[in-house]
Amino acid sequence: MVKVKLEPGECSGIPVIKQEQELEEPWAKLVPLDSKHPVIEIRLNEMVICSETTFSSLSKQEWCKITKNPDSCSGKLQNLSPATVIVDGLCVEKEDTTIVKCGTHIITGPEKEGYLSYKFQLMAVPEIGQKLVKVPIDSEHAKCSICLHVWHDVVTAGPCCHNFCNGCFSEWLKRSQKENSIVRCPQCRADVHFVGRNYFLRSIEEGILACDLSLQRSNEELAILNGCASIQSNLVLRNGNLLSRKRPYSPGNEEIGRVELPCPQCGSRSGGFQCNQRTSHLQCHACRGMMPARTGISVPQHCNYSASKIIKFGAYTL
């Protein structure tokens, strides 16, 4: 639907209809969760949405108005229907407004049953002063080989550099450590020496999901994955061998050689704990030292090689 404005003519005083020009490309879309219904492209900075609102609708009706915000990163939805509209679980009454962002879930009525649901999808807008570089990426190359979905909170295993969902690999790691002392990559079966979160690939993961909403998983699935995820920092896996690390870092000495300094709790019992063949390890960012990754620990552990500094690292005080 096109919004019109009436302005007086310069000479005759006869009202002239001025029509807002449509944009060449839509700045946003309403993507129906039911693929039987068409995608609604929003090409005006202020547009009244006219469509079916229920599965049994025989005609279209005006049910909301969406206005583009100045930041180009969100919009404002105003409910024009007599019934309540639900936006991300929030009830929006007639004439009320609310902010919608990319991924916002909109139900065209007061309840999910019987009413159409849409996802608000914001098109990518280049930032001022920056060039937008488009790189084609096949989503098949961004999928976890364990669950076969696009990564969620992606982690990278090394040295093979294969990538997985944090929750998926955490469960694989837990089962592998129970069964044997060596953790193997789920994809290539190479020995895994370390694993950590990959923030660069996470931005690619988010970009793919923003462009194709059909690849997104439900909130329930993501909650399960997040509950399984145990990799919060870089983990170094012992795999039965002693670990080497650098000496404590000294800003005045850049020429630091490598020495054999295994985890203190690998060779002897310390603080009521001793590592075994299946223990995963954390690496201190200050001294590069290794220590066991122990979840649920209540007593702070101290790194002997950087005792003069207080650094929070997982369950340890370094």
Question: Could you report the per-residue pLDDT of 124-147, keeping only the tens digit for each?
Answer: 654 544 555 666 778 888 889 899
pLDDT of residue 52: 79
31-35, 262-266, 280-284, 287-291: which range is least confident on average? 287-291
Distances (CA, A) of 20 to 43, 46, 48, 69: 10, 9, 13, 16
Contacts 24+ apart (CB under 8 A), 11-15: none
Domain-by-domain residue ranges, the chain? 4-122, 139-232, 233-249+259-318
What would the CATH number be for the domain defined by 139-232?
3.30.40.10
Is the model's pTM score more than 0.85?
no
Phi/psi of residue 223, nearest 5 degrees = -65, -40
Q: How far apart are the first and last CA of the chain?
A: 62
User: What's residue 289's pLDDT?
Assistant: 65
How far is CA 261 from its chain centroid?
A: 37
Q: pLDDT of 83-127, one tens digit each?
A: 899 999 899 999 999 999 988 999 988 888 888 899 999 886 545
> Contact, 260 vs 280, CB < 8 A?
no
Indicate if the pLDDT at residue 296 is higher than 70.
no
Name the average pLDDT for the chain. Answer: 74
> How far apart are the C-alpha atoms of 183 and 176, rounded to whole Å?
6
Q: Does domain 4-122 have CATH number 3.40.50.9100?
A: no
Lateral strand order in the sheet of 40-42? 40-42, 28-32, 117-122, 105-107, 85-87, 90-92
Of 290, 302, 303, the closest CA to residue 261 belongs to 290
- Report the distance separating Cα 14 and Cα 12, nearest Å: 5
Lowest mean pLDDT among 56-60, 214-218, 237-241, 256-260: 256-260
- Is 80:69 a contact under the CB 8 Å cutoff? no
**pLDDT interval class at 79 (50, 70, 90):** very high
